[in-house]
Amino acid sequence: MRNILVSVAWPYANADIHVGNLTGAYLPADIF
């Protein structure tokens, strides 16, 4: 069994946008 790393986009400098909301709504998770 190999290790699988699942990561999401890095948080943006703009703190007004919540990373969880942005990721969940617009960006898919990157699976390596």
Number of domains in the chain: 1
Higher pLDDT, 18 or 5: 5
What contacts 27, CB < 8 A, 6 or more positions away?
Answer: 8, 9
For the chain, what is the mean pLDDT? 58
Those residues whose C-beta lies under 8 Å from the C-beta of residue 6, and which sit 6 or more positions away, are: 29, 30, 31, 32
Q: Specify the DSSP element, H or E, that contains 6.
A: strand 6-7
The pLDDT tens digits of the residues spanning 23-32 come to 555 555 554 4
pLDDT, mean of residues 3-28: 58
The predicted pLDDT at position 3 comes to 79
| Structural domain harbouring 15 | 1-32
